[in-house]
Each structure stands twice: as structure tokens, then as C-alpha cells.
Amino acid sequence: MFIGRLSERKILEDIFASQKSGLVILYGRLGMGKTALVSEFIRDKQAYYYLCRDCTEREQVYTMRRESEKDFENLEAERLGDFLQAVAGPDKNGSVRHIVVLDEFHLCMKENGLSQALVSILSDKDRFEHVLFVLCSSSVNWVENEMVSELGAAARYIIKFMKLKELGFLELGQWFPRFSIEECIAVNAVTGGIPAYLERWDERKSAAANIKKLFLEENAPLYREAENVLNTELRELSAYNTILASLAMGRCKLNDIYLRTGFSRAKISVYIKNLIKLDVVEKVFSTDSGNSDNAQKGLYRIRDNFLDFWYRFVFSNRSAIALGKGEELFEEKLKNEFREYQYESFAGLCLEYLKLMGRHKRLKADYDRWGSWHGKTGRIDILAADAGGKTLAAVCNWGDRRPNADMYNEILDIVHSAGIKPEEIYLFTQKSISAEAMSLFQKQSLIKVVELKDM
């Protein structure tokens, strides 16, 4: 059963219904579910699908003909343009394919045949009416930085860019309908909501059992996955491994990475810039507040949960895993660390919750800027603002600590340090609040408490 991607499916359906001819560029990192999405889209339509290979144009066409033997048994095309014209035109029964999907199409761009073929088809309105090409690629860097120039004249026929990102918590809940919110937080912390990894998660087993099975054996299916993903996009993997391992261990400032790696600051900046372009790393900006002196500046973090997990728990423990000690490694060293590690996943859930509240007009303002505030003595996990300067602050309490009067005062102190006067303050908490503490929070009425079970 296909789950999620409702907005993406609607976009594709609307474009198809408009009967426009042109190119839709669908891209995203490996495992994001591009092929599953286009498969669902073309399921009830006349369409042609082909997964491109890393080979010459001539070999590509031979492969296309071989895989489409029944439909094009008499076709002797050796050029990509000739084959695609046959695909886009009526078949032997007079049926017309209005959709042509080329998956991993960047592999067809090594010679000029594809761009020429697209131009010849899309410019010929008399012979080819209503032909939609969906071009898929897992090379994010290439699509965003090189594709348009390599497509040349064909680029003017682009109708839509669609970048697939991770699934959110609502979709995780659909994927694992029997899971509690805490279980979904654990899944998100490990997989990052990436469909290819969700498919490997065994819902009959605990998070610990899944981690051991998927990562902590040398032949485990995801043991080498992070490096496989980055190898498709980056050269000098050793340098990127070094920087990502530093970030995963909490070295978030440029100077900290410099001291850890020995790389020059200029070199680190270039590598981090490349990682930001790939959505692997993000610069953590403290949202504008009234007191910038108390804010930490120039922080970086791995934004891809899967890669953050991999570099923190797999990369740093490969010797023990290679020796077959993955299970005892988790039980003796990683179990407690993993519990703490889920904090950022919980914060992501809280952010999604608030944005959903905002869409349903259940917040006090239409907040359109969302970020966080990192102070020298604490942080506001979510800080939102609207065009008129109204703000919302939220703090996420993950772990065994139960909210009490001290926590109430701590939240007010950090809000004061940030120099803001929020319209509303939220405390999201994993542990239930005691009746006594709840009475205090309700009496003061400045901070709204949302327990995990209420989400």
C-alpha cells in the first residue's frame, strides 16, 4: 500500500489534467521514494517507464528496446531521439502514451542524445500533443547545480521542480498505525522518515532490536548506507566523514571542528557549504530576538536524522561491530545515549504539531517564521514570529524529568535571556506533569503544557 505524498500526488495529477506538454523534474536523495511515487501516479494511465543505466546512448537504446520488446519489436532505433519519438507517438493499436518516465535520467545525460530528443518531441506540437516527461534523479547536487545547463534548450520546457523530502510524523503514524508516539519518535530518530529505511523497519520488534538488526552487524543492510549515499554526490569522502563525525559528536562550531579535524577554517567552510546544499547539514540560526548578546552564533548540525544517527552510533563504533560485538555494544554503551539522542526527533514532532495548530488557526497569530534560539545558558527549541512581531516560544522536555516549579522558572528565565515577550509559551513534555505542578502552571497561565499523550 502506498502511503503519504498527498500533496506531491495532487501536483502531478493537476499537471497531467492540464494536458500541458513539458518536463517535471522529480528529485531527492536515494531512498526518498521517487520511484514509488511515479509508480502510483502512472498506475491507471498509459505511460512508459524506464530506469536509466550508466552506459552509452547506443547501449541505453538497446536496453530500452529489449525491455519493451512486445511494444517495439520492429523498431530498429539506435538513437535515443528515435526511440522516445516512438514511445511518445501512437503504438500499433493507436493508443498514445501521454506520460514518459525516465528514472535516474542524469545517467542519460552523458551524451547529448536526451536533451536533443526532448527538444525535438516537445517542439513538434503537430505530431506530439500532450506528452508529459517525468524525469527523476537521486543526484540532488547535479539537479540543483548542473542540470539546467546540461539540458540546454530542453530546459525551457520545464514545468515543475519537485524535491521529495522526508515523511513527517503524520505519515509515520499512517505507516505504523499501531505504534505509540514514543515509538514513532524512535523510528524518526533512526530513519529520518526516509521511505526506503521505513520499509526495513520491523514493527513487530523494538527499536533496540531494529537498530541491532539494521546497523550493528558488519553485513547488516544499513551498515554502510551513509557512505553509499554520500558517495553518489561527493568526492573526498574521507574529509566529509571527518567533518560529519565531528558534528555528530556535538562539535557544532567552526572552531571546534577546526580543533578536532586539523583542517583549515576555509576548507571546513567549503565542505560544510557543500553539505548544506545537499540538505545534510544546516546552519542553526538563532531567530531574531531582543537580546542577540546572549545568543550563540555560527552553530552547525546534521539535519538528516538518518545520517546523524549513523555517524554517531555506527561510524564511531565500527571496530566493535566488525568484531561481532554489536549487541553488547548497544546494551552496555549505546542504549542510554540513544534515549538522549531522540531529543531532536521529539523537537521535530513538537514543531510539526505547532505548525498543524497554526494551519487550523488554533494559535494566537499567523506565524510564518519558524526557528529556534540558542543561548549561552539554554535554548528555546521553537521560536516563531509573525509579520507584526508577535512571537511564540516552545521548550521541549525529553527524558525522565517531570515538569515542576523549577522548570517553570527556568523557562521564564531563558525567555527573558532571549529578550522576547511571547504571545504564548508552550512546554512539551515526555513525562506527565504532576497535579501539583499542573496547578501552578494553570494558575500562572503563562505557559501551556502539552504532554506526549495529548499529541
Q: How far apart are CA 90 and CA 67, in angstroms?
A: 18
Q: Position 68: which residue type?
A: S
Helix (H, G, I), strand (E, B) or coil at 295: strand
Helix (H, G, I), strand (E, B) or coil at 206: coil
Q: In whole numbers, what is the pLDDT of the chain averaged over residues?
A: 92
pLDDT average, residue stretch 331-355 = 96
Write out the three cell numbers for 147: 542540470
**Is beta strand 22-27 parallel, antiparallel or unpaired with respect to 132-137?**
parallel
Q: For 293-311, write each residue's pLDDT tens digit.
A: 666 777 899 999 999 999 9
* Sign of the dihedral defined by the CA atoms of residues 440, 443, 448, 450, in that order: positive
Strand order in the sheet with 447-451: 369-374, 379-385, 391-397, 424-429, 447-451
Q: Look at 79-83, 212-216, 315-319 and tell me which has the smallest mean pLDDT.
A: 79-83
The secondary element (H helix, E strand) that includes residue 23 is strand 22-27
The residues facing 135 across adjacent strands are: 25, 102
> Is-contact 97 46, C-beta < 8 A?
yes
Listed in order, strand segments (DSSP E) in 305-437 are 369-374, 379-385, 391-397, 424-429
pLDDT average, residue stretch 398-409 = 93
> Is-contact 97 88, C-beta < 8 A?
yes
Q: How far apart are CA 208 and CA 435, in angstroms?
A: 33
Q: How far apart are CA 92 and CA 95, in angstroms?
A: 7
| pLDDT above 90 for 242 | yes
Q: What percent of the chain has pLDDT over 90?
A: 79
Q: For 175-208, write each residue's pLDDT tens digit.
A: 999 999 999 999 999 999 999 999 999 999 999 9
At 92 the pLDDT is 62
Write out the three cell numbers for 332: 552496555
- Quick count: other Cβ atoms within 10 Å of Cβ 273? 11
Torsion of CA 238, 239, 245, 249, to 10 degrees: 150
At 305 the pLDDT is 96
Which residue has 505542578 as its cell numbers?
437
pLDDT average, residue stretch 403-413 = 93
At 426 the pLDDT is 97
At 73 the pLDDT is 67
Domain map of the chain by residue range?
6-163, 169-341, 345-454
CATH fold of the domain at 6-163:
Rossmann fold (3.40.50)
CA 428 to chain centre: 24
| pLDDT above 70 for 90 | no
Multiple choice CATH, 345-454, 3.40.50.2300, 3.40.1390.20, 3.40.1350.10, 3.20.20.370? 3.40.1350.10
Q: For 62-71, write each residue's pLDDT tens digit.
A: 899 888 867 7
Which residue has 487550523 as its cell numbers?
360
At 430 the pLDDT is 96
Q: At what angle do helices 265-277 and 237-248 cross, to 10 degrees?
A: 90
Closest CA to 391 of 413, 421, 412: 421
Q: For 256-304, write each residue's pLDDT tens digit.
A: 999 999 999 999 999 999 999 999 999 886 665 555 666 677 789 999 9
The secondary element (H helix, E strand) that includes residue 423 is none
Architecture of 169-341 per CATH? Orthogonal Bundle (1.10)
